[in-house]
Structure formats: structure tokens, C-alpha cells
Amino acid sequence: MFNEATFADDIAPASVPASAHVSGKAASSRPAQQCGSCSMRSACMPQALNAQELSRFDSIVSATRLIKRGDAIYRANDPFQSIYAIRAGSFKTVVMHRDGREQVTGFHLAGEVLGLDGVCTESHSSDAIAIEDSSVCIIPYALLESMCAESKSLQQQVLRMMSGEIVRESSLMMLLGTMSAEQRVAAFLLNLSSRMKARGYSAAEFNLRMTREEMGNFLGMKLETVSRMFSKFQREGLLQTHGKRIRIVNLDALGRV
Amino acid sequence: MFNEATFADDIAPASVPASAHVSGKAASSRPAQQCGSCSMRSACMPQALNAQELSRFDSIVSATRLIKRGDAIYRANDPFQSIYAIRAGSFKTVVMHRDGREQVTGFHLAGEVLGLDGVCTESHSSDAIAIEDSSVCIIPYALLESMCAESKSLQQQVLRMMSGEIVRESSLMMLLGTMSAEQRVAAFLLNLSSRMKARGYSAAEFNLRMTREEMGNFLGMKLETVSRMFSKFQREGLLQTHGKRIRIVNLDALGRV
DNA sequence: CGCCAGTTTGATTTCTATCAAGACAAGTGG
DNA sequence: CCACTTGTCTTGATAGAAATCAAACTGGCG
């Protein structure tokens, strides 16, 4: 049975009562929800829109879709038609090399938008794969583009999102290009911590949704190295781990690594 | 004396007669040129515009600016006001870590656009530094944004450019995250080769504008390693180097590394 | 001509990958 | 309920790649 992800095992944010989530239905596509009543609204794309724009925006968000763990919203070379706002759950985006090696280019949480890589060539250049049962809002790009021409604030929002993605990727290049394995893992944990916090969850204690191998593919190292770094931080008293359960004991020290 | 970069030491493309370049003047800012008569037009931003849009676009390109080797167009944390189209020359973009380590996030040639990282926070997140004497067109972002609201083709062009930058950076993450030093250097040379070719220069023989250290900072390795890989390719008969002068002897084999 | 930034090359160290084995937890089916 | 599978994670031993340290070479330029 499909259960919409609710971070039930993390410390829930006060602003997201469990009832705000739609109870699971196995259908893979459902009518759109209203952005105005979505629990992710403040973190999501239409944050900058006024009431009138919001209702217009609602009308172009055609549907939501449930994605099971391991399934893809889109894959590399799929024709580009829509972008996707994450309503609930988490995803990884992956670029593949012909020889099979893969690089995870990001982990994405609720409120974030996926698929902007497709604008440039009208086909996607990465896979977007759910790392837990998740749901997304489907935003047809052609309609979004049209509405951008009319709404300056939406246009600005889309451009800002794209630019933000560019900046995010630059800092990942910095991580991959200049940091040691130890520093990369620390930076990864801190980044995740602050994003969980921004969503109302505890910054110190949360569950990782990805495996050690996926982390390694993201951080440019092998899963064994990720594991060793976790053990190291634990020995040094910066961290407690129990499988995917993470507890950051000393956030400052982790930042100084 | 300032000499506007003309790749005079590379094999010149037939479509760019030397006279197309403005002769050097030490002034750092000059009136804008007309995009319609610019030798970079086909490779540059306004490629998608019709005559009327082009003239409107010309009017928002306020000026061109000469940048000497080593000087920056903008630096991290500078307020974001304009984006810059490279008329001639080459740049590197660099993100700095507090501890002084730097990651080169890209090398940029004529026709490419710099500064889109600033849209998201209204301040730049990287430095853009000329690696040879260069010139850029200044495109005030506020005006560009306004014109985007009116010209669908310009809006699309800007969105495509941004998306292209996202894709470019993803593939760089792949390079940094999964490839050996040897493969990175090979990929770098091939990439540069194809970009030189796209500009009408020889794909096989060109001058590097950056130092070994800058390449290393880009490729996530030390300058000595870059040098060793060059020597290795040379021993294997894939490449001939003489300082910054590069001659790719076996392009296919370089692609199979 | 000599200086200097940039480059090449060699010797050694350090870090991470690789290979291998075992631990652990969750889930399955008998 | 238990044996068993399976996927994930941890840990250790070793190999391999790149960094570091050091020295010498090159070519351009004042």
C-alpha cells in the first residue's frame, strides 16, 4: 500500500498537521490541489504571487502525481514538458555516464522544483528518482512560460529559481573540487540539517532518506568512505548514527571540520 | 598598451576579419556596439530575435567595457546589476571558500554570458576574471527583465541560457565526482576543442589562455597533476604541447580515455 | 643578461578506492 | 515463531591515485 511520505518518523513541524496531507491512494495521478491551501506553499514556487496570480497559477498546475520509492518522474532524454514541485517526499537527481557511472547531482525535499534542466534542449539531461514514496505537482512548462509573460512576479520567481540552481551547483563543484572526504560529509550533513530546520523539523535529529551509496555518489566518494566518516565523527563525539537515523551532537564542530 | 584579444595566434575563423574588432583604446567603458553587426552575433544572446526585437535589445545594451587580464568584471558579493556578454577574450569564474581555497567553475569564451548567478540573491556568488585582455557588453538586468515580459523569444532565450548553465554545471559535477585525473584532463581538452571549433577556429590546435594552476583549480586537481597528464598524453601520442600551445593529435583516442 | 612566473619531473606521503568479511535489521515464507 | 534471504552498513587489510615536497628547467621580458 502506498503511503504518502510525511516524515512521520521525524519531529513534525507545528505548521504541518498530519491532516494537511492527503491520505494515500494508489492512483498515480490525481486532480491538482490548491496551492493556497498547500502546506508547502511558503517554501514553494508561488510564494511571490498575489491572490489573483495564485488562482491563475493554480489553474495551470494540472495534477499531482504519486511516485513510489525508486520510480522516476522523468529520465534523461525524456522529452521536456513539465516541471515538478515536490509536495511531499524526497528525490535524487542523477546524471549518467555512458559507461554506467552515475553522479547524483542533488537531493531534493518538499517545496523544491525539479526538471529545469530540460528547458535548454527540450529534453531532460538527468533522472529524477524518488528516494521515498513521494508526491509532486505537475506544472506544464508551456503554460508556465505563457503566464510568465503576463506576471512579472512569476517571471522573476522562475528566473530566481533557475539562478538559485546555478548557485547551488557552483557550491557543489567547490565541494567536489576542493574538499576532503571528511569535509564533504560534514558539509552534506550541515546542509541537510539546515534544510530540515527550514521545513520545521529538528536541525539536530532526522532520518536520512538515501543510502550510503547514494550519498557517496553525490559526494564523489565510495559508500565505505561515507561510512568511515560517519564512524569517525561518532568517535569524535560530533554525531550519533544508527543506520539512517542521524543525531548531530556538535553542530559547530561539524562546521569547523 | 591594451590590445583587444583577437585570438591572433590561433587560426582565425573566416567569418571574423580582423577589422571587425575595434582597435584598442585604454578607456574602460565605451558606447555600445550594434548587436546586428557584431561578429559574435550568431553565438550570442540575441540570436533568436527578429529585426525589431534586435534593435530594442541593442538599446538596452548600454555599453561595452574593456577588461585587462587579471581584472574582474564583478566579484562575489558585489551587488547584481547587469549580466555580461563576452565580445572578445576569455574569462574564468571562481567561487572562493572562506579558507582561501578556490574552485574555478568555468572558463568562458566569446559569445557566452556571465553573471546569471546574481539573479537569485541580487548579489554575485562568484568572481568573473579575465584570463586575457577582453571586452564585454553590459546588459542591465532590470531592462532585460522588462524586455523579457514583452518579447517571448527573448524570455525563452534567457530561460534557455539559464537552463543550459544548469546542465553545464551538472556535467561538471559528473566530471569532478566520478572521473580520474586523466579522464578529466582529456574531457577538458575535448570540450575546449569543440568550443574553439564552434567559433571557427581549429579544433586540433589552439592556445590555452589559462595556466596549469587554473586548469587544476577547475578540474579539482593540482597543477603538477595537470602537467603529468599532459606529459602522459604526449608520450602516448595523443597530444603535443609546447607551453600553452596545444595540438590534439588523436582526438578519438582522447575521447576514449 | 638575469629574473621570474610558469612548467616539468622525481621522490615520498597521504588519502581514498578496492577487496573482503562480517554484522545488522527488516521482511518472507514455511 | 524461527530460519533464511536480502539489502544495507561497518570494519579491516591492502593497493593505487593524486597530493605534497623538492628541484630543475623554460621562455618571456624588463
Average pLDDT over residues B22-28: 43
Total domains present in chain A:
2
Torsion region of A74: left, alpha or beta (phi above 0 gives left; psi -120 to 50 gives alpha)? beta
Residue type, B256: R
Domain CATH number, residue B204: 1.10.10.10
Least confident of A83-92, A114-123, B35-44, B220-229: B35-44
Query: By C-alpha distance, which of A243, A14, A32 is closest to A137?
Result: A32
A9 beta carbon to strand C: under 7 Å? no
Residues of chain B with C-beta less than 8 angstroms from the C-beta of A169 = 166, 169-170, 172-173
Q: Are residues A148 and A250 both part of a single domain?
A: no
Q: Are residues A142 and A192 both part of a single domain?
A: no
In tens, the pLDDT along B75-122 reads 999 999 999 999 999 999 999 998 888 999 999 999 999 999 999 999
Q: Tell me the pLDDT band of A42, cut-offs 50, 70 and 90.
A: confident
B233 beta carbon to strand C: under 7 Å? no
Give the nucleotide at minimum CA-to-C1' distance from A211: D8
Say yes or no to pLDDT of A17 above 50. no
Q: What are the φ and ψ backbone dihedral angles of B93, each rounded to 5 degrees?
A: -110, 140
Instruction: Give residue B36's pLDDT.
Output: 86
Last residue of a domain, one of B176, B198, B226: B176
Provide DSSP, B161-223.
Answer: HHHHHHHHHHHHHHHHHH--HHHHHHHHHHHHHHHHHHTTS-SSEEE--S-HHHHHHHHTS-H
Residue A42, chain B, CB below 8 Å: the answer is no
In tens, the pLDDT along A196-227 reads 999 999 999 999 999 999 999 999 999 999 99
Instruction: Give residue B14's pLDDT.
Output: 56
Q: Tell me the pLDDT band of A32, cut-offs 50, 70 and 90.
A: low
Average pLDDT over residues B224-245: 96
Q: Which residues pair with A91 in a beta bridge?
A: A108, A130
Q: Are strands A245-248 and A239-242 parallel, antiparallel or unpaired?
A: antiparallel
Q: Are residues A77 and A203 both part of a single domain?
A: no
Structural domain boundaries enclosing B207: 180-256
Question: How far is it, in rounded angstroms, from Cα A127 to Cα A71?
Answer: 10
Instruction: Give residue A100's pLDDT.
Output: 84
Q: Tell me the pLDDT band of B246, cut-offs 50, 70 and 90.
A: very high
Chain mean position to CA B145: 23
Q: Are residues B192 and B161 both part of a single domain?
A: no
Say yes or no to pLDDT of A7 above 80. no
Q: Which residues pair with A136 in a beta bridge?
A: A65, A86
Chain C positions within 7 A of any protein Cβ atom are: 6-10, 15-20, 25
Residue A117, chain B, CB below 8 Å: the answer is yes
Say yes or no to pLDDT of A116 above 90. yes
Last residue of a domain, one of B176, B205, B228: B176
Of A163 and A9, more confident: A163
In tens, the pLDDT along B148-165 reads 999 999 999 999 999 999
Q: How far is B203 from chain A (nearest CA, A)?
A: 23
Residue B236 in domain:
yes
Q: Are residues B58 and B145 both part of a single domain?
A: yes
Q: Are residues A148 and A236 both part of a single domain?
A: no
Question: How far is it, in rounded angstroms, from Cα B209 to Cα B106?
Answer: 13
